[in-house]
Amino acid sequence: MPYRAPTGEYEFIFQNLIKLDQIQGTEKFADVDGDTVSAILTEAGRMSEEVLYPTLRNGDLTPAVLENGKVRTSPGFAEAFQSMAEGGWISTAADPEYGGMGLPFTVTMAVNEMMASANLALQLNPLLTQGHIEALEAHATEEIKQTYLPKLNSGAWNGTMNLTEPQAGSDVGALATKATRNDDGSYAITGQKIFITWGDSDFAENVVHLVLARLSDGGKGTKGISLFVVPRHIPDENGEPGVANSLKVVSLEHKMGIHGSPTAVMQYDGATGWLVGEEHDGMKCMFTMMNNARLNVGGQGVGAAEGAYQHALAYALERKQGRTPLGEGTIVDHADVRRMLATMKAETFAARAIALETALAIDMGNATGTADWKARAAFLTPIAKSFGTDTGIKVADLGIQVHGGMGFIEETGAAQYARDVRITSIYEGTNGIQSMDLVARKLMDGGEAAYALIDEIESFAEDARGTRPNMAEAVWQATETLREATEWMVSQGNLNERFAGCVPFLNGFARVLGAHYHLKAACAEGSEGPRTKLARFYISRLLPEHAGAFAHAMQGAKGLYDLSIGDLSA
């Protein structure tokens, strides 16, 4: 079955939910009018449908392999990558001074989501390159920017992110890769990195690694780490790939999903690198890339959810099984199948709205420099990452269920969505780590950013009482519970009390946010149309989950540790 890019959904969300025209009111994005946005969505949507999507199964069935030290990518990936590059879809948000399109991140998120629906394993390549570009734009010297950014923006070169080592996963500060100063101002990098996505390919003229390493006088933990740009081939005097650097791909991982994405063990043997940012301040620079990638990984979850939903709906409209309450229809007329499909659609909509609102806050923060927008972007990012990816996993799993036994059979493709999206709740900071970030660092302002958002949801629900009384009342009540749970979190001095319930707290917060966007959609629709019916489904059947989530969130840590290792092993 074909994939259909949901361009109308983005347009609706831009116009009615997050008000993209706020961006157009800023000097930075004054030229980004509605027609430009529509044209971009149409073009990127067409490319995702016609060029990327046909390569989806190739990646699964013919994974990337390492042959004689070189990575051979899946059939059709090189050509599809070329189309992404030619369309400008790698550099959509990048600075025009270095060859980017300079568009808002909000629009980029929509483009990335469509590409992720069509082929998540391949889309991971530009996803990382985009974060890499943003980190160089923010922290590199002008010379590095001039050498690397035009090549990365055009897609001639690809960018990677090298944090993980066997003993340093979530605990990045435990890394052992070393950097030493060379006489010419460059550095020699030595060590091994694991799980490096798109560590190499057969279609990039050059692969540029952003590598975290420690100088001998760097302190322990994350504070003493520096960031280096380490190219596979060192650029010559014309800026073209020159001599090979002292680095190699040792092996590729065999994975549960995203088979088309080469996940490499990288060995650096005194490889030449150049400093990005200040010595010992690399984590700050890498966070620019990580924040970008975190939100985009949330978008991958939404993309996978959309693909899985379209697949399941098409199957449910064809498969006949038994008599349904509506007569001789297909399985779509069974109540439980309706429940699954409505859940898939409603959750995807909520996760998409949250992701786009987060991107909008980033754009507004960048365009206006306003602290409130920046705080909102920071607060929403872990929610968008975690809820987006959990939604992708949940929806893809429901997609298998809708297919019945055929969902377990690989030919239908339903299982591939579930396998591919599974990693998204793990990489770019596990969803557990995202939730800890939400209740610790993101509440360090005493809850100011959280309460600003809660006030907004509550005031919208109050206004909606006139037109959508039942739904508005349910959202208003849920917002009160959310406020109580937030107050509880803020009042816990011992962070482990917060951590014990951080995942259900994040989930509950996302539930209420999702209800807010569904209510907004219903109000924007006005009459009793599909958006209002979907909103009613979400608010009456899924929103009540928030109560359980917040009750769980406020239990504290004691009960977890009362359950001893012995008890767990009994």
Enzyme catalytic residues: 428
Burial track 377-409 (b if 16+ CB lie within 10 A, e otherwise): bbbbbbbbbbbbbbbbbbbbbbbbebbbeebee
> Which is closer to ligand FAD, CB of 44 or CB of 297?
297
Question: Residues 54, 99, 102, 169: which binds ligand FAD (CB under 6 A)?
Answer: 169
- Minimum distance, C-beta of residue 169 to ligand FAD, in the bound complex (Å): 2
Question: Residues 123, 129, 197, 292: which binds ligand FAD (CB under 6 A)?
Answer: 197
By CB under 6 A, the residues from 81 to 110 that bind ligand FAD are none
> Which is closer to ligand FAD, CB of 371 or CB of 444?
444
Cα angle 442, 304, 537 (rounded to 5 degrees) comes to 75
Number of residues in contact with ligand FAD under rule CB under 6 A: 17
Query: How many other C-beta atoms can be found within 10 angstroms of the C-beta atom of residue 176?
Result: 13
Map tokens 């620079």 to a residue: 285
The CA distance from 152 to 453, in Å, is: 36
Residue 427 contacts ligand FAD per CB under 6 A: yes
CA atoms within 13 A on the CB side of 62: 10
Stretch that binds ligand FAD, among 1-9, 195-203, 356-364, 405-413 (CB under 6 A): 195-203
Of 420, 386, 384, which Cα lies nearest the Cα of 307?
A: 420
> Which is closer to ligand FAD, CB of 289 or CB of 305?
289
Residue 337 contacts ligand FAD per CB under 6 A: no
> Which is closer to ligand FAD, CB of 138 or CB of 557?
557
Residue 404 contacts ligand FAD per CB under 6 A: no
Rg of the Cα trace of the chain?
24
- Minimum distance, C-beta of residue 162 to ligand FAD, in the bound complex (Å): 5
> Which is closer to ligand FAD, CB of 57 or CB of 294?
294
Return the bridge partners of 210, or none.
161, 229
Residue with smallest beta-carbon separation from ligand FAD: 169
Residue 135 contacts ligand FAD per CB under 6 A: no
Helices then strands, each counted (H, E), the chain = 22, 11
Residue 432 contacts ligand FAD per CB under 6 A: yes
Query: What is each CA distance from 427 to 250, 256, 258, 290, in whole angstroms?
Result: 21, 14, 13, 10
Q: Give the contacts of 20 (CB within 8 A, at least 6 positions apart).
A: 14, 37, 104, 106, 360
Residue 430 contacts ligand FAD per CB under 6 A: yes
Tell me, rounded to whole angstroms, the distance of Cα 261 from its chain centroid. Answer: 16
Return the bridge partners of 191, or none.
268
Treating both helix axes as pointing N-terminal to C-terminal, what angle do 335-368 and 105-118 enclose, rounded to 10 degrees? 140
The CA distance from 532 to 38, in Å, is: 24
> Which is closer to ligand FAD, CB of 169 or CB of 404?
169
- Minimum distance, C-beta of residue 249 to ligand FAD, in the bound complex (Å): 13
- Minimum distance, C-beta of residue 288 to ligand FAD, in the bound complex (Å): 15
Residue 415 contacts ligand FAD per CB under 6 A: no
Question: Residues 426, 440, 524, 557: which binds ligand FAD (CB under 6 A)?
Answer: 426
- Minimum distance, C-beta of residue 264 to ligand FAD, in the bound complex (Å): 9
Residue 196 contacts ligand FAD per CB under 6 A: yes
> Which is closer to ligand FAD, CB of 381 or CB of 412?
381
Q: Give the contacts of 405 (CB within 8 A, at least 6 positions apart).
A: none
Strand 178-181 and strand 206-215: the pairing is parallel
Residue 419 contacts ligand FAD per CB under 6 A: no
> Which is closer to ligand FAD, CB of 170 or CB of 494?
170
Supply 101's token pair.
């399109």
- Minimum distance, C-beta of residue 252 to ligand FAD, in the bound complex (Å): 10
Query: How many other C-beta atoms can be found within 10 angstroms of the C-beta atom of residue 327?
Result: 7
- Minimum distance, C-beta of residue 163 to ligand FAD, in the bound complex (Å): 3
- Minimum distance, C-beta of residue 499 to ligand FAD, in the bound complex (Å): 7
Beta strands in 201-288 (DSSP E): 206-215, 225-231, 233-235, 241-244, 247-252, 263-276
Identity of the amino acid at 173: G
- Minimum distance, C-beta of residue 266 to ligand FAD, in the bound complex (Å): 9
> Which is closer to ligand FAD, CB of 30 or CB of 560?
560
Supply 300's token pair.
């991958």
Residue 263 contacts ligand FAD per CB under 6 A: yes
- Minimum distance, C-beta of residue 188 to ligand FAD, in the bound complex (Å): 20
Question: Residues 36, 42, 82, 170: which binds ligand FAD (CB under 6 A)?
Answer: 170
For residues 331, 335, 338, 343, the Cα torsion angle rounded to the nearest 10 degrees is -140
Q: Is 165 left (phi over 0), alpha (psi -120 to 50) or beta?
A: beta
> Which is closer to ligand FAD, CB of 207 or CB of 355?
207
Map tokens 């109308």 to a residue: 8
Residue 288 contacts ligand FAD per CB under 6 A: no
DSSP secondary-structure letter at 158?
A: E
Of 131, 195, 200, which Cα lies nearest the Cα of 165?
A: 195
Q: Is the dihedral of CA 510, 514, 520, 523 positive or negative?
A: negative
By CB under 6 A, the residues from 147 to 166 that bind ligand FAD are 161-164
Supply 318's token pair.
């064809």
Residue 255 contacts ligand FAD per CB under 6 A: yes
Supply 3's token pair.
């994939």
- Minimum distance, C-beta of residue 428 to ligand FAD, in the bound complex (Å): 6
Of 481, 297, 483, which Cα lies nearest the Cα of 391?
A: 297
Residue 532 contacts ligand FAD per CB under 6 A: no
Contact residues for ligand FAD, defined by CB under 6 A: 161-164, 169-170, 195-197, 255, 263, 423, 426-427, 430, 432-433
